[in-house]
Amino acid sequence: MLGSNRDGKFFTSCLFCRREFDEYLMKCPVCGGPLEIVFLNPRFRVDKGKPNIWRYKSLLPSFSKVITYGEGLTPVSRIHGVLIKNERYNPTGTYSDRASSLIASYVASTNIKKLWIRFIEDFTYSLSYYLSGLADLEVEVYGDDISNDELGKLVELGVKLVPSYTTNNSLELDYLNPLTIEGLKTIIFEVYERKVRCENIVVPTVTGLLARSLWKGVKELKESGLDVCYTIVPVLIKGWLKPTLIPSDMDVVEVELETVLNTFVKLCRSGVRVKPISALAYAVAENLGNSLAVITAGYKSSTRMDRGRVKESIINLLNREGSLTAYEIWKGLKNFTLRGIYKALKSLEVRGVLCSEFEVRGSRKIKRYKLCENQLKS
């Protein structure tokens, strides 16, 4: 079952009506508004043996069961000189995996048998992926966005698509809930742990939930007695309304749509694949300087023939060498690019050809690949 923070007391507070409750709830029982978990006497500690967001369990809700697929510890790198925190390297390629780990742990730790989720791109697939291992759970998704190709992937995970919420026998779960906030704030914990030198943390903004979550992470680090100087900078398309979730004392940067599109095109033409909303954060981080942009970024894939050859080469190498990291594989296959290696590894892992495990080296998460048992050759 659910427990309290390791240091003792907590409460949940409604961001709309400001009422407080001495238990974990998914939404305010009075006004239906979003809730936020408040830890009393917070203490930031790092369990360096855990290669996932649960290394920060001192400032996360506690559960009797933890569901994790190695989310978090995503890399900090540069794209054309701009510092980025690349959330593409989470299990399903999105920062929603951080929230999904907490929500799935919550569901697994309770007697919930049926869950109803309103479809939100990226989040719903991520959460369904994390819940897919819970055999006794029935998941229903209100899939009204029939143009989205993620619906097919949801069905493959065993999700039931429904036209509306029709039963009171299931937990209704929305993207905006306190566990999502708790998961997303770990981005800041990773930035702090790695001692990333920057002044601003720039985040794209639609609902304001990501900005709110990172702001909460900074606040808790400060309350733990740490010297933290990061400023969260939410960015909006000019003309959009400022979301109510963004704290009143937080300055929002507005960007002309033309600027975002120009940045998006520039990145695409240089081989960097991002969503336009990520280009929004990138453009502001580039302009401000001394900033880190939280985005998801990939790269153009190689040709079909090249992809086939690199996969075959990876399989042959691992059959000889056993367990290797992506970098070690690349060092052994210098005829291919590191980006091509990563692309092929992901494909082989999804197909069940490769298995992986994580280990921690310092503050970095290292992923090692090996052939699955049914692929080993004598």
Pick the residue with more confidence: 302 or 139? Answer: 139
Task: Determine which of 24-33, 99-108, 232-241, 312-321 has the lowest per-residue pLDDT on average.
Answer: 312-321
258, 162 in Cβ contact below 8 A? Answer: no
pLDDT at residue 276 greater than cutoff 50: yes
Return the DSSP state at 370.
E
Q: Calculate ∠ Cα 273-277-283, nearest 5°.
A: 80
Task: Say if 72-300 and 304-375 have the same CATH topology.
Answer: no
Quickly tell me which residue has 């291919």 as its tokens: 336
State residue 303's pLDDT score: 45
Confidence of residue 47 (pLDDT cuts 50, 70, 90): very high
How many whole angstroms separate alpha carbon 274 and alpha carbon 276?
6
Q: Pick the residue with more confidence: 150 or 27? A: 27
Question: In the CATH hierarchy, which top-level class contains the domain 72-300?
Answer: alpha beta
pLDDT score for 312: 84
Distances (CA, A) of 108 to 1, 43, 97, 133, 165: 9, 26, 16, 10, 22
Give the whole-angstrom CA distance, residue 169 versus residue 190.
38
Query: With 70 as the cut, is the pLDDT of residue 360 above it?
Result: yes
- Phi and psi for 14 in degrees, rounded to 5? -80, 130
Is 71 exposed, middle or buried, given 0-12, 13-18 or 19+ CB atoms closer than 10 A? buried
Question: pLDDT at residue 127 above 70?
Answer: yes
pLDDT of residue 332: 84
Q: Does domain 304-375 have CATH number 1.10.10.10?
A: yes
User: So what's the pLDDT on residue 299?
Assistant: 63
Give the separation between CA 304 and CA 289, rounded to whole angstroms.
Answer: 38
The answer, as to whether pTM is greater than 0.85, is: no
Shortest CA distance to 17 belongs to which of 4, 27, 5, 6?
27
Taking the domains of the chain in order of start, what are their residue ranges?
72-300, 304-375
- pLDDT score recorded for residue 171: 83
Q: Length of the chain in residues, anyone? A: 378
Q: Residue 302: what pLDDT?
A: 44
The confidence score (pLDDT) of residue 2 equals 42
Contact between 68 and 258 under an 8 Å Cβ cutoff? The reply is no
- Cβ-Cβ contacts under 8 Å for 241 (sequence gap 6 or more): none
By percentage, how much of the chain surpasses pLDDT 70?
91
Q: Is the pLDDT of residue 34 over 60?
A: yes
For residues 246 and 234, is the Cβ–Cβ distance under 8 A? yes
Going by pLDDT thresholds of 50, 70 and 90, the confidence category of residue 257 is: very high
> Residue type for 270, please?
S
Residues 6+ apart with CB under 8 A from 127: 96, 99, 100, 103, 104, 117, 173
| First-last CA distance in the chain | 46
